[in-house]
Structure 1
């Protein structure tokens, strides 16, 4: 992009500045001393010039929005055409309570629903299971059967609303219940819009929630992909999730690389199933974290699109633009929230949300300032949503596409993230002898991902404890009189009420129909057939979450991580 003579002149002038003007300021008491680096540890130069991006090829590395390599955005007009989808995570207690919160958020201007489930539902347990005791409705909504889904979306037009489901081991069951609800209401399946997280590989890598071992878990993910391609083409059956990898302690580069590796593994598994890459890739979505280092996060998002577009073409021969166009949801960093001085979290979340918007996200969840203390209160949820609305309506950053493009610092960081993430991806591919799928599974089994993430988490925590990494209100600017706040509390009767409804469902349903549907599901699983059609039928018979998940556990058993690999 720059003339060689001009670059030589700039380098010469920069050297003169370093030895002259800047050198004279090295003893300046106003210049901060210490570490200058991103949260992930990428060193940040004092000054960036065109010499730092001398190899940048505008067409190959940047291009235009909506065109390869999509660095500048997946769509031509970006937020000038339509703002990102504003999703606020919601779910607690019973379906009635969460339905009330859903309606409140829609009335406040939210444009997409995002559903949080309680731990028993996440792990495929019914609310009356002994292991569920004390956890029903605690950190999300309890869902045991189609009856709960009917109540959850009462008064909500599922033909119009886009709904995200943050659930993994039991994701195919929730998806089947949602499809069953659509059939029950007469909503054509092809009109359903939303996203199912359903990313089991990152569970084994980072979040550590599973029911059955990695390979059958991967097969079940591909069942939902195959079904969605045919039946619900507007619904994303997998949200490949780097968010939890970052929350476990990874760097931004690791988050990006491991997330894309999981996405490529799903593509390869679907191809083995007989699906073409250009059938599968357009229905993949991604989910990233947005942390405190604004420039690093913007660079990460821009590099993500570029790396994905390049490797989808080079490694998988993708031809359709939609197959190379990475689309992603962003959530602000829960791990960064502090219990001390919780109102400081409003500022953190604003910076993180701004990074997501400047980086070109398609949808955004902003954490509530009190989430380090409890489930978010209505006041905190409103502030989180208003944060997005102020960025969209008042800041002006949504008026132009990719507004930080051309910044020497941002472009240099984008190149660095691209280079380091690609190196990780090539390592993972080599671990699988040319297969990313095999490399990811091997990395899970031998603890490769654990070691990488654990090392990064340890390094970050060491910096915080030494004071090298400043956390305002925690290791600097702490106060002794932090006032208590009124927090949201889950109704203590939620578990009893949920178990009563589950008992009523079991008493009212046709037991013979349930038994027949579960037998059909077991037969499909045993035969290696796609399990989703049988799951939909079982959901319609009001088979429960636990009953359906037990079919898979009975066939494949459970999984125990190798000693010494856990975080």
Structure 2
């Protein structure tokens, strides 16, 4: 064992002993924000405790939201089913077998009204994991807020809206990259004027990591994508000091405790430099604000209760790394969507870290650690190397179109899997400390009848709405999509007339084509 090399997932060698680190003279809340974006961090305000939820119908998901809010969740986080993510109504043949499975089925404003029944949008923040159809779901949320009488200038939340990582890692895109980027910058522009507290994009490393990347690749590719969004918005004539304040990030927190903490500290420092180099002078436009979710791909179907410990470790690393918002996975997620019991344990994990562990009492508790400071520097240096390669290719869009990111991620995923299979990387309960499987019976099952239910709702909706007003709204959207007007007002108008998600996505498919 003495001569064995200790290496992180990113290939960074860990020394036996660290005896020196560069002096930490910067303060939290000041450029380049390595130590955190607030001067007092969690002493002033804890992170938002979100639980990602959404399954089957809007009615069922609404019940789960009320349950989570009663348990002390401070922000909602909505999961959408696959048809909703790729712009198909529940009655479309492509939706067969997928309705309500990995999230909630949303076909029209009617479903959003049911989803948030009894919940005042002005009193909560909502995060929506939606990309290709983000403009439509945001339009529905705004339409509901208006119906509730809220001032839309005051509502806050986040849409993921990060299409570049869909091409690189996840696959729920509809249109080609360039028109997709137009939709995103239209959202930036519209929200900066009309919904100024809304986070218009959550640039996501999470799915890059879930697809098998290393920590360094997750960091580098996410920030490179962020840089592409900044440049696209600047090219549209938007002011970086205004729109960059509403960008947020979404990172994974994986198993290697210290590498993850170093990744978060390096991320803030790197983003501060990227925004400054592109002309940002406002502190808030240079700050990297991020949500973290514990690593779904680290959860094992074998001995699922072991996942409680994994999630706790990952959540603790996210907090020590200075996250603004956190979702903890349910221990049963390798088998099923989380049951109520698993969701409650996941939330209690955050509450115990916040109120019992003492890690929130001081800002950046690990600063000055020889090990953590060195690792932060090494993670940063390795990530800049990737960003330099992507810059030389002309940025993220080109790097994705030429398959560079996808190849790098799949290479890392292959290496990781090989290490699990040959035993050089230990996964407790999978390749070491295994035992004959116990039956795990408490799983959440989604019924196939949901598609029938959603289809019936669509038939009823189409009878009740004014067909002429729907057709007029869709026609105006089509004309606008062929020009260069901002599409958000047209999408909101269509949604308010109860045009369906699929109808709106089809109009844009006609103009933009499919990728």
TM-score class, shorter: over 0.9
Q: Structure 1 length as normaliser, TM-score? A: 0.90
Quick check: which has more Rg, 1 or 2?
Answer: 1
Cα distance in 2 between the residues matched to 1:139 and 1:441: 28
1:152 positional shift: 0.5
Task: Specify the alignment match of 1:503 in structure 2.
Answer: 459
> Aligned runs of 1:19-168 on 2, under 5 Å?
34-50=4-20, 53=21, 56-59=22-25, 63-168=26-131
Cα distance in 1 between the residues matched to 2:43 and 2:242: 29
Contact 2:260–2:317 under 8 Å retained in 1: yes
Is 1:343–2:276 an aligned residue pair? no
1:510 positional shift: 0.2
1:492 positional shift: 3.7
1:422 to 373, 384, 392: 384
> Aligned runs of 1:158-557 on 2, under 5 Å?
158-314=121-277, 316-432=278-394, 439-557=395-513
* CA-to-aligned-CA distance 1:400-445 (integer Å, 9 cap, x gap): 110011111100000001111112112211211xxxxxx2111111
RMSD: 1.1
Which stretches in structure 2 are left out of the alignment for 5+ residues? none
* CA-to-aligned-CA distance 1:434-465 (integer Å, 9 cap, x gap): xxxxx211111111001111111111111111
1:467 positional shift: 0.3
Cα distance in 1 between the residues matched to 2:470 and 2:384: 49
Q: Could you say if the C-alpha distance between residues 481 and 270 of structure 1 is closer, same or farther in structure 2, counting changes exceeding 3 Å?
A: closer
Cα distance in 2 between the residues matched to 1:155 and 1:39: 45
Q: Structure 2 length as normaliser, TM-score? A: 0.99
Cα distance in 2 between the residues matched to 1:423 and 1:320: 27
Cα distance in 1 between the residues matched to 2:452 and 2:374: 56
Cα distance in 2 between the residues matched to 1:387 and 1:529: 47
Contact 1:35–1:468 under 8 Å retained in 2: no
Cα distance in 1 between the residues matched to 2:255 and 2:247: 27
Count of matched residue pairs: 515
1 or 2 for the larger relative contact order (CA 8 Å, sep ≥6)? Answer: 2
Q: Could you say what secondary structure the match of 2:76 adopts? A: strand
* CA-to-aligned-CA distance 1:535-559 (integer Å, 9 cap, x gap): 0000000000000000111111111
Task: Specify the alignment match of 1:565 in structure 2.
Answer: none
Q: Could you say what secondary structure the match of 2:252 adopts? A: strand
1:481 positional shift: 3.6
Q: Could you say what secondary structure the match of 1:79 adopts? A: helix
1:159 positional shift: 0.4
